[in-house]
Each structure stands twice: as C-alpha cells, then as structure tokens.
Amino acid sequence: MSDADAEITTPAPAAASTDAGPMTLVIGNKNYSTWSMRAGLAAEMARQGAGATVEEILIPLDQPETRAQILAHSPSGLVPALLHGGVQVWDSLAIVEYLNELYPAAGLWPEDRRARAVARAVSAEMHSGFVALRSEMSMDIRRNKPKAGSAACQADITRVCQIWRDCRAGFGAGGDFLFGAPSAADCMFAPVASRLRTYGVELDETCSAYSAALFAWQPMAAWVAAAEAEPWDLPDH
C-alpha cells in the first residue's frame, strides 16, 4: 500500500481521570477574597459536576501570620492556590484550566467552540482588567455601602454590563447564566455581582436578572452564607 493510500488517523486524546485524587484549595476570607471566590466556585462545579474531591484551607487575611501561612502553600504569596499531589497552581484562571483538564464533564467551559472562545475571552478580560472597579469597590459581602465611584470606575461597570448583555443575548438561551448553563465565566464575574450589590449600583433588567441568578446559584449561595458567618472583620479592606 502506498503512502497515498494509507489511512491517516489522529490519536484520540487521553481521557481525563475519573479519580484524579484529592485536591486542596487554599483560600482567603470568603467575605473579602474575590480571587478565592472564583477558584472556589470553579472547584465546586468540579465537585458537583464530576465528583472532584476538594478540601479547603482558609487562611485569614491581614493578620501578622498571613503571608507566612500563604507562602507555605503558594510561591506567589497570594491566594488562591490549588494543591494536587506534587502540583501547585497559584492563579485563579490557571486553576480553572487545571480543573477543566482533569474534569471536563464538569462543564467549566461551554461545549460550543464559539461560545467557549468568548467565555475564555471575557474571563481573561475580567482576570486582567477593571482596575478602577477593583480598587474602589472591594468585595465585602456582608456590607451595604452605596457609592457612585469615579468616572473610571463607572466606565468599568459599563463594560461589565455590556459583557453581561452581549453574552446573555448571544449565548444565554439555554439558561440564566452568561452562556446558558453555569460556566467558569460565571465564576469569574460572580465577585463583580457581589461588589455591585454591596455598593448599590443600579442595573438594567438583563443585568439585574443575571445577578439574581448568580446569587440563587447553589455554589454562590453557599459561599455567601459562609462569608456571612465568618468572624473576621477587616474595616480597611
């Protein structure tokens, strides 16, 4: 048989392990740590959707021993960090991708290629942008403290709401979330919804409905309940 007649095959990708072993997620205060929330929600999606075993270590922030305790688990000195055997993953978006590799059945990213590309793009934009919103409206789930924010902060909020509307209109027909079913993109934007609620930011109908869906989502509701029960109060956070 000639080379031209030979059948060309592509090796099938290796299936993700259905028993990847226990993992540990190192986080900060649930009331204050936005990046911990993002990784925590993704880990809960992996647990509920694909049977992942994820334990938590919570390190209280802004304490004398905080940095040393975090450095024992995270080389960046920041939370979150995911520990899995000899693997350390110390960035929220990297944690999402690691969980997705191990547990594709969890649905962290949409199945449709175009939707998945947009979900990754808006998640990366959230990961790297919105500096004014982050600095002026830090997450504080337990508080209600309305404020307007600077022009730069308002511009960030406008862009967030545009993302929400565009995703809901373009990909949200299958459910109440940005891409219909819950995804990693919702994990990335959940802390923003919390910020907007804390600071009394008025939302249009589409964005208000999406925010309500996030707070009604069981992983988010459980996180909020745990945050409200925490004993630590950081007034300068």
112-147: burial string, b at 16+ Cβ within 10 Å, e else? eeebbebbbebbeebbeebebbbebbbbbbeeeeee
How much of the chain exceeds pLDDT 90, in percent? Answer: 89
Note the helical H segments in 77-130: 92-102, 113-128
| In contact, 47 and 104? CB cutoff 8 Å | no
pLDDT of 138-163, one tens digit each? 999 999 999 999 999 999 999 999 99
- The answer, yes or no, to whether residue 3 has pLDDT greater than 50, is no
pLDDT attached to residue 20:
75
pLDDT attached to residue 40:
98
pLDDT attached to residue 18:
47
Q: What burial class does residue 159 get, using C-beta atoms within 10 Å of its C-beta: 0-12 exposed, 13-18 middle, 19+ buried?
A: middle
pLDDT of 59-95, one tens digit each? 999 999 999 999 999 999 999 999 999 999 999 999 9
pLDDT attached to residue 19:
56
pLDDT of 20-66, one tens digit each? 799 999 999 999 999 999 999 999 999 999 999 999 999 999 999 99
Nearest to 93 by CA among 20, 164, 184: 184
pLDDT of 104-130, one tens digit each? 999 999 999 999 999 999 999 999 999
Q: Which domains does the chain have, with CATH numbers?
A: 23-106 (3.40.30.10), 113-229 (1.20.1050.10)
pLDDT of 165-211, one tens digit each? 999 999 999 999 999 999 999 999 999 999 999 999 999 999 999 99
